[in-house]
Amino acid sequence: MKILIDNGHGQNTPGKRSPDMTFYEWKFNRKIAIPLVEELKKRGYDAERIVTEDALDVTLSERVRRVNAWCNKLGRKNVILVSVHANAAGNGGWYNARGFSVFCAKVASDASHRLAQSLYDAAEARGLKGNRSVPKDRYWEANFTIIARTNCPAVLTENLFYDNKEDLAILKSEEGKKKIVDLHVEGIINYLNSLS
């Protein structure tokens, strides 16, 4: 099983920063994705990032192409994709919304749904539910390109809100980042164990 991790956005993606300009989403996504891949490898899993470039925002179609190349090579059942992001409730200013969410495409495989639920459960277990209502099935649905056009089980995590002051403090703390890495490690491994 090949575990692909996408760290969303690049240095030149417009917006995607906290209102006080102390947090850039592209940097944060890498601060999660890099130790996540390391931790999975340490535990014997075959994991890698699909975007190692920093300076450029590698286009969504190129990201999709890289994932689907692995699907073609290994078979789509032998690949999973997790795209790592942080959320914003608005476009500038501070907002109330807090918490973790995980998205599947509107038409998604049962495997995608189970992977999403496993990640949600690991986030909730770490106290990251936040203050919004959670869908009955514990995943949200949206046709984000990276999950809608890739051929393997694919989910996108939105790790707290960087335009909420309390969530931002968690996102910037070492303890908070470790929790977010750990929930991905646990969510992915629990999902893989459920397959066998």
Contact footprint for Zn ion (CB under 5 A) = 8, 85
* Least distance to Zn ion, CB of residue 44, Å: 30
Nearest to 13 by CA among 68, 115, 88: 88
Sequence letter at residue 165: K
Which residue's structure tokens are 């969303």?
8
* Least distance to Zn ion, CB of residue 122, Å: 20
Residue number with CB closer to Zn ion (15 or 93): 15
DSSP 1-60: -EEEEEE---TT-SS-B-TTS--BHHHHHHHHHHHHHHHHHHTT-EEEES---SSS---H
Residue number with CB closer to Zn ion (111 or 167): 167
Residue number with CB closer to Zn ion (22 or 194): 22
CA distances from 154 to 48, 77, 78, 90, 170 (A): 15, 11, 12, 25, 26
* Least distance to Zn ion, CB of residue 46, Å: 25
Using DSSP bridges, classify how beta strands 79-87 and 46-49 pair: parallel, antiparallel or unpaired. Answer: unpaired
Residue number with CB closer to Zn ion (17 or 85): 85
Nearest to 101 by CA among 140, 66, 148: 140
Q: Which residue is nearest to Zn ion (CB)?
A: 85
* Least distance to Zn ion, CB of residue 70, Å: 22
* Residues 101, 79: Cα–Cα separation, whole Å: 22
* Least distance to Zn ion, CB of residue 88, Å: 8
Residue number with CB closer to Zn ion (97 or 189): 97
Give 82's strand partners. Answer: 5, 155
Residue number with CB closer to Zn ion (84 or 111): 84
* Least distance to Zn ion, CB of residue 25, Å: 5
